[in-house]
Amino acid sequence: MGREMKRILVVGGAGYIGSHVCRMIAARGIEPIVFDNLSSGHRHAVKWGPLEVGDIRVQGDIERVLARYKPDAVMHFAACIEVGEGERSPLRFWTNNTGGALNLLNAMATTGVENLVFSSTCAVYGQPEFVPISERQACHPLSVYGRSKRAVEQILSDVANVGGVRCAILRYFNAAGASPDGDIGEEHDPETHLIPNALKAAAGIGPKMKLFGTDYPTRDGTCIRDYVHVLDLADAHLAALDMLKMGERKIVANLGTGDGVSVLEILGAIERITGLTPKYEVCERRPGDAPVLSADTAYAEELLGFNPVRSDIDTIIEDAWRFHRRQWGI
Ligand SMILES: NC(=O)c1ccc[n+]([C@@H]2O[C@H](COP(=O)([O-])OP(=O)(O)OC[C@H]3O[C@@H](n4cnc5c(N)ncnc54)[C@H](O)[C@@H]3O)[C@@H](O)[C@H]2O)c1
């Protein structure tokens, strides 16, 4: 590894994935500085370093924090993430996801911070030509969300090509799970992700879960997705940063397991693990949902030594359940 790191600025570090990464950064003896506007993140999830409340839509906010802390690197998680909302409010998504990233890059250039790990998504691929999806597949994002992230990838590529930044673009598949001690976990509001909603339905909190489509060309008719434990994702961020420090200029890597799990398989695993049956209603397919999305992980394995040890579905659900039981007081 290059020069030893002292501090990392974690933009969006009060959110789900960012808070788990902060915890891991601190465990490696590096100070995580969180920059967050708390629009969807939580003050109580910032425990391992200072919280600077600010907004990436305001370049001065981010520049001030970069100048103050002079971090060795930035990890950028802040974004609007609810895909359906992006279709209703495209400007909000482009402004926050793409405009915010541009502000961050400009602020990094002004303050001389070089290394960036960026949270991208498998949504940049759109309907894949084939699965598992490798990084070489063409990107045809189908949603405003996916396009707002793909645009950042293209900007990063242009800037990295002229030596303006060293960047790791990490395309997560479905982040899931929680810290094994139940301390932090997934707390989106509204929650649109399957596992927390299915656990809620199993616990009898709120309405029945919606299952979108049972007539897909998959083994049981429901959509198949690639779930990756949030701690495995966190590991990959530190590995990517190590690679940048060793001289890589640009990394683009999928983060998934390669093993897809169907919606019905998730519900079955929840029943097995919690002893409770998630109640659901079958709804129409959602437009744009691909039958199967799973990652070709060969490149992440080779480059980052990525080995998703906690990402089997039982461990993911056990960890998520432990967190939610505590959160819901049950
Ligand atoms: N959760 C997933 O399954 C998943 C999958 C693929 C990609 N991603 C990407 O990973 C990143 C993190 O996702 P998450 O699930 O942790 O989301 P999250 O909503 O829990 O976290 C995002 C954080 O960014 C902050 N934020 C948003 N806009 C901001 C702004 N203008 N200024 C400052 N802070 C701002 C929020 O307050 C929040 O703390 C996102 O970029 C998302 O697109 C997530």
The pLDDT assigned to 1 comes to: 44
Residue 31: its pLDDT value, please? Answer: 98
Ligand 1 centroid from CA 148, angstroms: 13
The class of domain 7-176+227-255 in CATH terms is alpha beta
pLDDT band at 3 (very low <50, low <70, confident <90, very high): low
**Residues at CB less than 6 angstroms from ligand 1:** 12, 14-18, 36-41, 55-57, 77-79, 81, 96, 100, 119, 121, 172, 174-175, 188
Ligand 1 atom nearest to CA at 78: 24
252, pLDDT greater than 60: yes
Q: Ligand 1: which of 17, 153, 191, 230 to mutate, most ligand atoms within 8 Å of CB?
A: 17
Query: Could you read off the pLDDT of 213-244 as tens digits, one per residue?
Result: 999 999 999 999 999 999 999 999 999 999 99
Distance in angstroms (rounded) separating the CA atoms of residues 28 and 107: 26
Provide the pLDDT for residue 207: 83
Q: Output the residue whose Cα is nearest ligand 1's atom 23.
A: 12
Per-residue pLDDT, 121: 98
pTM equals 0.97
For ligand 1, atom 11, name the residue with the nearest CA. Answer: 77
Residue 296 has pLDDT above 80, yes or no: yes
SS3 68: helix
The alpha carbon of 207 and the centre of ligand 1 are apart by a number of angstroms equal to 25
Average pLDDT over residues 244-270: 97
Distances (CA, A) of 100 to 57, 58, 156, 312: 5, 8, 13, 34
| Range name among 45-49, 92-96, 177-181, 203-207 with the lowest pLDDT average | 203-207
Each residue's pLDDT tens digit, 123-144:
999 999 999 999 999 999 999 9
Active-site residue (options: 16, 69, 125, 145): 145
Residues with Cβ within 8 Å of 49's Cβ and at least 6 positions away in sequence, in order, are: 22, 26, 31, 32, 33, 34
Residue pair 120/300 in contact by the 8 Å Cβ criterion = no
Catalytic residue list contains 16 = no
Q: How buried is residue 267: exposed, middle or buried, by Cβ count under 10 Å (0-12/13-18/19+)?
A: buried
Residue 2 has pLDDT above 50, yes or no: no
Return the pLDDT at 54.
Answer: 98
Which residue puts its alpha carbon closest to atom 12 of ligand 1? 77
CA of 326 to the centre of ligand 1 (A): 23
Give percent of the chain with pLDDT exceeding 90. Answer: 95
- The first and second tokens of residue 198, run together, are 């299915």
The mean of the pLDDT values for the chain is: 96
Of the pLDDT bands very low, low, confident and very high (cuts 50, 70, 90), residue 302 is: very high
* CA-based torsion, 155, 173, 247, 34: positive or negative: positive
